[in-house]
Amino acid sequence: MARKLDYRWRLRQVMAERGLFATTDLIGPLAARGIRLSSSQVYRLVAERPERLSLKILMALLDILDCSMGELIEPVVANGAGRQRKPGGAAGTGIGELRPRRARITPAGG
C-alpha cells in the first residue's frame, strides 16, 4: 500500500528567516510581480495552509523570498492512514438503529 503524503506550509517561517514579520510586507512585492491580493487574502496565505494555490503566486513567493519550493512546502507523511474511531467505546456501539424521523410538512387547515 502506498503511504499517504501531506505537506507543511512554511511561509510564515521562511518570511521570519528573511526578516519579514508582517503579512502586509508581501503586498507590495506581490503587486510588483503583477499579483494583486487584498491584505486579508495575504493574511490567509501566510497564516493558513492553502489547499489551492496558483502557480503564479507560488513562483512570485519563491522569487520574493529567494527560496526553493522545498523550503516553502515540506512534504510529510499523513497521520492516521484510515478512518479514526470515534470516542466513546468499541466500534459498532452507539445509537444502533435509532435515527431521527424526517419531518412531514402538511398544509395548514388540512
**Statement: the pTM of the whole predicted model exceeds 0.85:** no
**Measured distance CA(79)–CA(101) in Å, rounded:** 36
**Concatenated DSSP letters of 42-91:** HHHHHHS--S---HHHHHHHHHHHT--HHHHEEEEEPS-SSPPPPSSSST
CA 58 from chain centre, in angstroms, equals 15
What is the four-CA torsion angle of 77, 21, 50, 65, rounded to 10 degrees? -80
The residues spanned by each domain of the chain are 12-77
Q: For the chain, 110 residues long, give each residue's pLDDT as a single digit of tens.
A: 778 889 999 999 999 999 999 999 999 999 999 999 999 999 999 999 999 999 999 999 999 999 999 999 999 988 765 444 445 544 444 455 666 677 778 887 65
